[in-house]
Chains A and B, each alone.
Chain A
Amino acid sequence: MIFDFSRQGLSRADAFLERLFEVLPGLTSWTVLLGMLALSFAQPILAAVLIIAFDLYWLLRLFYMTLFLLLSSARLSLERGTDWMARIRALDRWAASQGAEPAIGDRCATVQQHFSGWIHRRQLVSLQRQAVDLPPSTGLRHLVMFTVASETPEVLEPGVVSLTQQSFPPKQMLIMFAVEERAGRERIAALRRLAERYRAQFLDFLVVVHPDGLPGEARVKGANATCAAREAAAYWRAHEVPFERVIVSCFDADTVVSPEYFSCLTYSFLMTPDRTQASFQPIPVYHNNIWEVPGFARVLDIGSSFFQLIEATNPEKLVTFSSHSMSFKALVDVDYWPVDLISEDSAIFWKAFLHYDGRYRVVPMYVTVSMDVAASGSWWQTVEDVYKQKRRWAWGVENFPIVMRAFLKARRIPFSAKLTHGFKLFESHVSWATSAFLVSLIGWFPAWFAGREFSSSVLYYSAPRIAGVIFRLASLALVTTIIVSLCLLPRPKRRAPYALFRRIGHAIEWLLIPFFAMGFSALPALDAQTRLMLGRYMEFWVAGKERDLRRRPLFGMRKPRMMESA
Chain B
Amino acid sequence: MRLFRRIAFYAFLLLYVVLCPVTVFSTLGYVFIPGGQQQIVKTGLIYLATAPPGATVYVGNRRFTRQTPTILRELQPGTYDIRLAVKGHRPWTHRVPVEAEQATVLEHVLLLPRSLHPVQAALGPFENLLPVSDKVLLLQRGPLLRHVTVYDPRAEREWPLLAPGSPLESARLIDASRVPDSDAVVLEVVFGGSERLLWADLSGREPHIEDLSSFLVRRPLWVTWDAEDKRHVFALQDKAIHRIDLAARTSYPAFVNRAVGMGVFRHALYVLREHGVLERMDPQGHSSEVLWRNLIPGPPPAADAAFRVQLLSDDTVLLWGRRGELLANHAPYQLVERGVRGVVHAPKQHRRALVWQRDRLGVLDFSGAVEGGSVEEMPPLRWAYKQGRDIRQAFWMYDGSHGLIRDDDQVLLLDLETYGKPEQQLLFRVKRHSAIAYSEEAGVLYYLDPSSGSLMACELLPKREILPFPDRREPPRRPTLEEP
Contacts and interface: CB of A to CB of B under 8 A. Distances in A.
B333 interface: no
A380 interface: no
B28 A56 contact: no
Interface in A52-78: 52-53, 56-57, 60-61, 63-64, 67-68, 71
A506 to B, nearest CB: 29
B23 A466 contact: yes
Interface residues of A, number: 35
Given A447-B470, A457-B103, A459-B28, 17 more contacts: A56-B16, A56-B19, A60-B15, A60-B19, A61-B12, A63-B12, A68-B8, A313-B1, A315-B2, A316-B2, A455-B474, A456-B102, A456-B476, A458-B73, A461-B73, A464-B470, A466-B27
A158 B102 CA distance: 66
Contacts of A71: 1
A448 interface: yes
A64, A67, A68: residue with the most chain B Cβ atoms closer than 10 Å: A64
Contacts of B20: 53, 56-57
A60, A67, A313, A458: residue with the most chain B Cβ atoms closer than 10 Å: A458
Interface string A101-139: 000000000000000000000000000000000000000
Contacts of B105: 455-456
Contacts of B43: 458
Q: Sort chain B's interface into a size bin.
A: 35 or more
Nearest to A315: B2
A64 B12 contact: yes
Q: Is the interface of B mostly helix, strand, loop or mixed?
A: mixed
A460 interface: yes
A-B pairs, top 3 by smallest CB distance, nearest first, are: A456-B477, A458-B29, A462-B27
A49 B28 contact: yes
Contacts of A49: 24, 27-28
Interface in A34-66: 48-49, 52-53, 56-57, 60-61, 63-64
Interface string A441-459: 0000001111111011111
6 contacts: A49-B27, A49-B28, A57-B16, A64-B8, A461-B103, A462-B73
Interface in B18-41: 19-20, 23-24, 26-29
Contacts of B470: 447, 461, 464
B1 A458 contact: no
Contacts of A452: 367, 371, 474-477
A463 interface: yes
B348 interface: no
Nearest to A55: B23
Interface string A189-217: 00000000000000000000000000000
Contacts of A455: 103, 105, 472, 474-477
A48 B27 CA distance: 10
B71 A461 contact: yes
B359 to A, nearest CB: 32
A61 B26 CA distance: 22
Interface in A371-408: none
B87 interface: no
A543 B12 CA distance: 50
Interface in B264-285: none
B73 A448 contact: no
Given A60-B15, A456-B103, A457-B101, A313 B5 contact: yes
A313 B8 CA distance: 12
B200 to A, nearest CB: 42
B263 interface: no
Q: Is the interface of A mostly helix, strand, loop or mixed?
A: helix
B47 interface: yes
A480 interface: no
Contacts of A447: 470
B62 interface: no
A314 B5 contact: yes
Contacts of B5: 68, 313-314
Interface in B452-484: 470, 472-477
B9 interface: yes
B45 interface: yes
Contacts of B476: 452, 455-456, 460
A463 B24 CA distance: 9
A517 B23 CA distance: 27
B2, B103, B475, B477: residue with the most chain A Cβ atoms closer than 10 Å: B103
Interface string B67-84: 000010100000000000
A60 B470 CA distance: 27
A53 B18 CA distance: 11
Interface of B: 1-2, 5, 8-9, 12, 15-16, 19-20, 23-24, 26-29, 43-45, 47, 71, 73, 101-103, 105, 367, 371, 470, 472-477
A137 B114 CA distance: 93
Nearest to A364: B1
B249 to A, nearest CB: 48
Contact of B26 (A64, A315, A450, A462): A462
A314 B5 CA distance: 8
A22 B475 CA distance: 45
Contacts of B73: 458, 461-462
B379 to A, nearest CB: 18
B23 A56 contact: yes
A128 B73 CA distance: 64
B47 A461 contact: yes
Contacts of A56: 16, 19-20, 23
Nearest to A67: B8
A447 B24 CA distance: 16
B101 A458 contact: yes
Nearest to A458: B29
A448 B471 CA distance: 8
Contacts of A458: 27-29, 43-45, 73, 101-103
B45 A461 contact: yes
A451 B350 CA distance: 13
A60 B16 contact: yes
Nearest to B105: A456
Interface in A407-464: 447-453, 455-464
Interface string A260-292: 000000000000000000000000000000000
Nearest to A466: B27
Interface in A451-494: 451-453, 455-464, 466
A467 B47 CA distance: 18
B5, B19, B43, B45: residue with the most chain A Cβ atoms closer than 10 Å: B5
Contacts of B477: 452-453, 455-456
Contacts of A314: 5
Contacts of A449: 473
A450 B29 contact: no
Interface in A13-42: none
Contacts of A466: 23, 27
A476 to B, nearest CB: 15
B272 to A, nearest CB: 31
A69 B348 CA distance: 50
A68 B1 CA distance: 10
A452 B23 CA distance: 24
Contacts of B23: 52-53, 56, 466
A53, A447, A449, A457: residue with the most chain B Cβ atoms closer than 10 Å: A457
A27 B101 CA distance: 35
Nearest to A71: B1
A449 to B, nearest CB: 7
A456 B105 CA distance: 7
Contacts of B1: 71, 313
A459 B27 contact: yes
A48 B29 CA distance: 14
B63 to A, nearest CB: 21
Contacts of B2: 315-316
A250 B181 CA distance: 72
Contact of B473 (A316, A448, A459): A448
A463 B473 contact: no
Contacts of B8: 64, 67-68
